[in-house]
A and B are shown apart, each in its own frame.
Chain A
Amino acid sequence: MAETHSLQDLQQPAVSSKVFVQRDYGSGTTCRFQTKFPSELDSRLDKQQFEETIQTLNNLYAEAEKLGGKSYLEGCLACLTAYTIFLCMETHYEKMLKKIARFIKDQNEKIYAPRGLLLTDPIERGLRVVEITIFEDRSVGSGR
């Protein structure tokens, strides 16, 4: 039976466990997450799907922290105005974070919610981890 699983439906069943995808510091302090597939998700999710999600997230964060002409221009302009421009302007990083939030919402609706999983935006965890909540199977089973 085709059924759209809204997040409200999924929050009714109990949380079975949470998986934390840690940061990957191999290339310094830039925001990257490990693409290693957690074993707890074996039964629920494709490895490839997971890696694709994490890789896209990493790319989005890399773009937010990219050093390029645009970011330097923004920085120089801010410096000249004694950084008061930050009070009225949204920075490139903030725009990218909104884009990331939309991406995660989209991924949740299309891929993770139908499998009884929920991705939490890393910004809500201080960019330390990607938290994946695994819900109990019974509600998903009854829905399918």
Chain B
Amino acid sequence: MSNFYSKSSTQIRVYLRVKVERAHQVATGERAEGFRSCVCDVACRRPHAPTVRTPTSRLIMKKCEYQQIDPRALPTPTPPHHRGDDDGGGGGKSDELKRPRRKWEVFPGKNRFYCGGRIIVARQSGVLPLTLGLILVTSGLFFMFDCPFLVKHLTSCIPVVGGVLFVFVVITLLQTSFTDPGILPRATPDEAADIEKQIDNTGNASYRPPPRTKEVLINQQVVKLKYCFTCKMFRPPRTSHCSLCDNCVERFDHHCPWVGNCVGKRNYRFFYTFIVSLSFLTAFIFGCVTTHLALIELVICFFSVWSILGLSGFHTYLVASNLTTNEDIKGSWSGKSGEDVTNPYSHKNIFINCCYVLCGPLPPSLIDRRGFLPADESAQTSGADIEGKPQTAHTCPDNNSPAVNSDPSPELSMSCGARRAASPQGDGSPSHHTKTRWKKSKRAALHVPNPAFDVPVSPTSPDAASFAPSQ
């Protein structure tokens, strides 16, 4: 966040400096009066008529003009006093262009990043604050009021056990929320072009082909891989595109609003540990509280115990059969259609399935959030960033919706990245609507698939659906 603020103040300084500079140029005759000067001078991408390029204006010129300058043809070196003038603005800008950018800053999905890209959350935090609040309040009340009573009358192990469970619950909740669930980076333009070429070769080029699928044989089962129009690739098996986060997630389970993140390959074990330890914690508190009869805790725990226990039981079944919520809902391997289908990913042994899902090797994040962009991409995107930033202060909310609803370009998405979280456009009403729905249905409905949050892609529709949160 501090990065964003320092950048925007730099941009404001640059913007003001340009305005002063241009006024000065008109006064001294360097620039003809009536020259079209946009309000969004630095941000505008339209090529303007070339002006007399003083070293000062050259440094702070917008991206399209800057690119027109051939660095080898610069007539005079920059005078030192101009450099000194521009250290605040122009120096800042040249530093910006040279500063290597990290990949999270240009991430195309709808995620937010904190701590320099170390922490990743979905754009909408859902009801994560509510989840945390409920856990903290209930546990706090338990430790403050019930524990002294129970320690006096029973044993001092009670707060110890409660404490361990509480720590487990909070740590695994935060890990589920802040970990990359297994996001697949989008295909590079070259890859996308290669895939398009392959599709055109095999299909009829005279009309737009139907939703693209590719069939593969996995352990003697035919599995259809769908083409993702957003990420421009054929999704690997068990991968699904989450419309809320606008990412393809490997081994996609579901998008959980209670933790404010998708649950996928990389954070499923954290999620499972969270719900199991939470069910133990709520059962424990419920058991202790019935001896002491504290009403608030009793009510919260009563409703929580049944729903959380039910959810834990459901996910234990999924783990034992190596299924995802997504596959279970769709009935991919249940043989509904009458064919003899079995889950090709299962190891046919409950114990091995459990070990694989919960204790198997944890693959690292594929999106390399803290890696640096290559220098040429960095220069391009930082130029676009400088263009985009002054606009974002005023026009980002307007630009955001069309940008989000069409194929999001990396530049626009990057420039609005930090803002997009705050912008109510595009997602405001659906998120409010679904939030209200969730609060009404309470925890008991958590394991019941909510089309608003679960996999949005229907078997037949192409991924235009990925842009709308609900079907």
B216 interface contact, C-beta 8 A: yes
User: How far is A6 from B109 in the complex, measured between Cα atoms in Å?
Assistant: 36
Asked if B361 contacts A25 (CB within 8 A), the reply is: no
Knowing A23-B236, A25-B216, A25-B237 touch, does A71 contact B364 (C-beta < 8 A)? no
Q: Are B363 and A93 in contact (CB under 8 A)?
A: yes
Q: Are A76 and B223 in contact (CB under 8 A)?
A: no
Q: How far is the CA of A20 from the CA of B344 in the complex (A)?
A: 27
| Chain A residues, Cβ within 8 Å of B171 | 82-84
Report A-chain residues with C-beta under 8 Å of the C-beta of B172.
82-83
Consensus secondary structure, chain A interface: mixed
Question: Which chain B residues numbered 220 to 270 have a C-beta less than 8 Å away from chain A?
Answer: 223, 225, 233, 236-238, 250-251, 269-270
- Chain B residue nearest in CB terms to A20: B194
Chain B, residues 209-223, CB within 8 Å of chain A (1/0): the string is 000000011110001
The answer for the CA separation of A51 and B209 in the assembled complex, in Å, is 34
Residues from chain A with a CB closer than 8 A to the CB of B70 are none
B143 interface residue (CB < 8 Å to A):
no
Chain A: interface size category:
35 or more
A141 interface contact, C-beta 8 A: no
Interface 1/0 per residue, A82-119 and B, CB below 8 Å:
11101000011110010000000000000000000000
| B185 proximal to A (CB < 8 A) | yes
Q: Is B184 in the interface zone, CB < 8 Å from A?
A: yes
Q: Does residue A36 face the partner (Cβ distance < 8 Å to B)?
A: no
Specify the chain B residue showing the minimal Cβ separation from A133. B190
Q: Are A26 and B344 in contact (CB under 8 A)?
A: no
Contact partner of B168 among A29, A76, A82, A129, CB < 8 A? A82
* Chain A, residue nearest B176 (CB): A83
Residues of A within 8 A of B395 (CB): none
Known contacts A25-B237, A71-B360; is-contact A125 B219 (Cβ 8 Å): no
Cα distance A103–B172 in the bound complex, in angstroms: 36
Partner of A72, one of B187, B233, B236, B359: B359
Q: Find the A residue at minimum CB distance from B362.
A: A91
Partner of B360, one of A26, A75, A124: A75
Q: How many residues of B contact A (CB 8 A)?
A: 42
Q: Secondary structure of the B side of the interface?
A: mixed
CA–CA, A98 and B270, complex, Å: 25
In the complex, B356 has a CB within 8 A of chain A: yes
Using Cβ atoms and an 8 Å threshold, which residues of chain B touch A82? 167-168, 171-172, 175, 273
Interface centre among B168, B250, B251, B362, by most chain A C-beta atoms within 10 angstroms, is: B362
Do B237 and A27 touch (CB < 8 A)?
no
A-B contact sample (11 more), CB < 8 A, given A75-B355, A123-B366, A126-B366: A18-B194, A26-B218, A28-B237, A29-B238, A66-B361, A67-B360, A67-B361, A75-B269, A75-B361, A83-B273, A126-B185
What residues of chain B have their CB less than 8 Å away from a CB belonging to chain A? 167-168, 171-172, 175, 184-185, 187-188, 190-191, 194, 216-219, 223, 225, 233, 236-238, 250-251, 269-270, 273, 344-345, 352, 355-356, 358-364, 366-368
Identify 25 residue pairs between A and B in the complex whose beta-carbon atoms are under 8 Å apart, listed by A's number.
Answer: A18-B190, A25-B216, A25-B223, A26-B217, A27-B218, A29-B251, A65-B360, A67-B352, A72-B359, A72-B360, A75-B269, A75-B359, A75-B360, A78-B362, A79-B359, A82-B167, A82-B172, A83-B270, A84-B171, A91-B362, A93-B362, A93-B363, A126-B184, A127-B366, A128-B191
